[in-house]
Structure 1
Amino acid sequence: MVDKLKKIWLEGEFVDWDEAKVHVLTHSLHYGLGAFEGIRAYRRGDGQTYVFRLKEHIDRLFDTCKLIAIQPRFSRDQVAEATVKILRENGMEEGYIRPLVYVGDGAMGVYAHDNPVRTMVVAWKWGTYLGTGATENGIRAKISSFQRHHINVSLAKAKMMGQYTNSTLAKREARIAGYDEAILLDTHGYVSEGSGENIFLVRRGKLMTPPLSASILEGITRDTILALAREEGIPTSEEMVTRDQLYLADEVFFTGTAAEVTPIREVDNRTIGEGQVGPVTRRLQKRFFDIVRGTDNSHPEWLTRV
């Protein structure tokens, strides 16, 4: 459960948590058209709080708005400023931040082009997304019976509300079956991503992940890990991945703003590698956490001080 904080940024103003309300005829509530982001802020080794890759997240939010043809009333700079200020307003040293652009109430029906486009930013405290011990020990995952949207059925690069119904169904199925997370294949049977994460595998020292031309979200943590892997001299490849390649991998892990870098120790009751966090995963995990929480200052462009 999300702990109630003090303030939420709604349409350009900070309002009390309990006063941030929307009408029941809000169009996005009924039809799922809207854009959102997930951003993390960390307290680093110098004792200061930094938002991780703020610009890239705000750019992706506005890219999603372009893809789904809605125009926010606020600029990128205004939303970015609100993302930083929401932490200050709530006295947060660390947190998860959710900017959201949605279609407000007015006309009903699928096409309501004159309804106002509204923007909000909320923050909350969020620990390890996939459960206590997930990043240290790894998780169990299941190939979902639900497939990731075909690229001609939806907009795979959009982080839009309605598209996550698919993810929710996959996640619910996996959890009911006793697993921690789902892995979705695309409509051709290739490995796509988790319910809210990109996926990587390591085979014989080579790091692989599905390409951006596949039905995957263009993950910002995904991009971070690819950059760090190249810096570490780890061979990397963006290519289509089959289910059997996943089963036979030496290491598998998820990446995402919420999931961070989470190892996968088992897929469909098949042990991955030695059934524990592998050396490549551990190495990349360490670099990632050294940057966001430690004293690795090799990428100052990724950090926005609060």
Structure 2
Amino acid sequence: MKFSNSKFVWFDGKLVPIQKAKVPVTTHAIHYGTSVFEGIRAYWNSENLFIFRLGEHVKRFRNSGKFYSMSLNYSNEEIKKAITNLCKKNKMKKSCYIRPFYFIGQYGINLHVTKNAPTHLAIFMFPFGDLFNKNGITAGVSSKRKFSDASTPTQAKMGGNYLNSIIATQEAKKKGFDEAILLDLEGNVSEAPGENIFIVKGEKMYTPPISSSALNGITRDAVLKIAKDSGYKASIKKFNRNELNRADEIFLTGTAAEITPIIKIDRKKVGNGTVGPITKAIMSEYTDIVMNRKKKYSHWLTAVY
């Protein structure tokens, strides 16, 4: 996925041209994956730029680092202000993706990371549209399993954790699929490499629990709330690979993916092979919400201008 970065980034408290935001090759995060990141969407509705669930993202951003005793040397309010100021500095009036991340800097080859390890915070952004085809994508169940809390905290959005996602994605692409689906160590459905997964059976929809190594996604949480408010029965429960084959509809949720339908799984049609009615309804409602056309959910949005 190619993108064009905006001119300015926020780096350690200052708005600077992107070419001046540099780190040395001895940076700890480059060697050991000691970086924490978030993906945040902002939507331009022709009148203002609205950041979706900014507070929830910043809270998770901080909590991810706590799993590894990494210090984030800015308050949540300072980070939120930095993000909105960056949007203004770049004069962003397009829907975009915002990537804040913090990482351990000069710390030698020491694996004993403590709160005293030096960290840096950077934020960049770029215009962004659809990650996937909203008319539906194909997916295949990966031979690679999602790691579990028995080895690595699954709720930490750490750079190093996503090597698992990279290898699953590589496998999927080699087989001709658009995306992968990972199972947990017990063989239950977990999630996609960068998205949560929902299945629809009849009038009910399900998504795996975090005990299946699924991320407690912010978009996942939004969809659960939207579904219930819309009168659908939405719940969290474990289900296995066979349930994917029996599902009437399947869709992914995530900041970058938004709501993305899966119309084929392991080369078999999901339902009739087109976007299902419940998925369509959730997609439409989600779009209205992020574009600030639903006042009931306006508290999820932060206006930039």
**Same structural fold, with TM-score higher than 0.5 when normalized by the shorter chain:** yes
- Per-residue deviation, 1:298: 1.4
1:234 aligns to what?
232
1:188 aligns to what?
186
Aligned partners of 2:199 and 2:130: how far apart in 1?
Answer: 21
Aligned partners of 2:182 and 2:264: how far apart in 1?
Answer: 15
- Per-residue deviation, 1:2: 2.1
Q: In the alignment, is residue 37 of structure 1 matched against residue 38 of structure 2?
A: yes
SS at match of 1:295: coil
* Alignment coverage as a number of residue pairs: 301
Aligned partners of 2:251 and 2:193: how far apart in 1?
Answer: 13
1:205 aligns to what?
203
Deviations 1:168-212 (A, max 9, x none): 111111112111000000011000000000000000111111113
- Per-residue deviation, 1:236: 1.3
The 1:138–1:99 alpha-carbon spacing in structure 2 relative to 1, beyond 3 Å, is same
Do 2:70 and 2:117's aligned partners in 1 also have CA atoms closer than 8 Å?
no
SS at match of 1:168: helix
Root mean square deviation of aligned Cα = 1.2
Do 1:249 and 1:273's aligned partners in 2 also have CA atoms closer than 8 Å?
yes
Q: In the alignment, is residue 50 of structure 1 matched against residue 50 of structure 2?
A: yes
Which of 116, 119, 122 is residue 117 of structure 1 equivalent to? 119
Between the aligned residues of both structures, percent identity stands at 39
1:126 aligns to what?
128
Opposite residue 163 of structure 1, the aligned amino acid is N
| TM-score (normalizing by structure 1) | 0.96
- List aligned pairs for 1:127-276, cutoff 5 A: 127-130=129-132, 134-135=133-134, 137-276=135-274
Do 2:70 and 2:113's aligned partners in 1 also have CA atoms closer than 8 Å?
no
Q: Which runs of 5+ in 1 are unaligned?
A: none
Do 2:224 and 2:235's aligned partners in 1 also have CA atoms closer than 8 Å?
no
Do 2:34 and 2:159's aligned partners in 1 also have CA atoms closer than 8 Å?
yes
Aligned partners of 1:247 and 1:259: how far apart in 2?
Answer: 22
Q: Which runs of 5+ in 2 are unaligned?
A: none
Aligned partners of 2:152 and 2:109: how far apart in 1?
Answer: 22
- Per-residue deviation, 1:106: 3.3
- Per-residue deviation, 1:245: 0.4
- Per-residue deviation, 1:294: 5.2
Runs of 4+ in 1 over 6 A off after TM superposition: none
- Per-residue deviation, 1:44: 2.5
| TM-score (normalizing by structure 2) | 0.96
Opposite residue 118 of structure 2, the aligned amino acid is P
Do 1:58 and 1:79's aligned partners in 2 also have CA atoms closer than 8 Å?
yes
2:3 aligns to what?
2
Do 1:50 and 1:304's aligned partners in 2 also have CA atoms closer than 8 Å?
yes
Do 2:5 and 2:125's aligned partners in 1 also have CA atoms closer than 8 Å?
no
Aligned partners of 1:44 and 1:53: how far apart in 2?
Answer: 16
Aligned partners of 2:296 and 2:211: how far apart in 1?
Answer: 29
Aligned partners of 2:292 and 2:59: how far apart in 1?
Answer: 26
SS at match of 1:228: helix
Aligned partners of 1:201 and 1:112: how far apart in 2?
Answer: 39
- Per-residue deviation, 1:75: 1.2
- Per-residue deviation, 1:151: 1.8
Opposite residue 127 of structure 2, the aligned amino acid is K
Aligned partners of 1:74 and 1:223: how far apart in 2?
Answer: 26
Larger displacement relative to structure 2 (157-166 or 294-303): 294-303
Q: In the alignment, is residue 295 of structure 1 matched against residue 297 of structure 2?
A: no
2:83 aligns to what?
83
SS at match of 2:211: coil
- List aligned pairs for 1:12-23, cutoff 5 A: 12-23=13-24
Opposite residue 71 of structure 1, the aligned amino acid is S
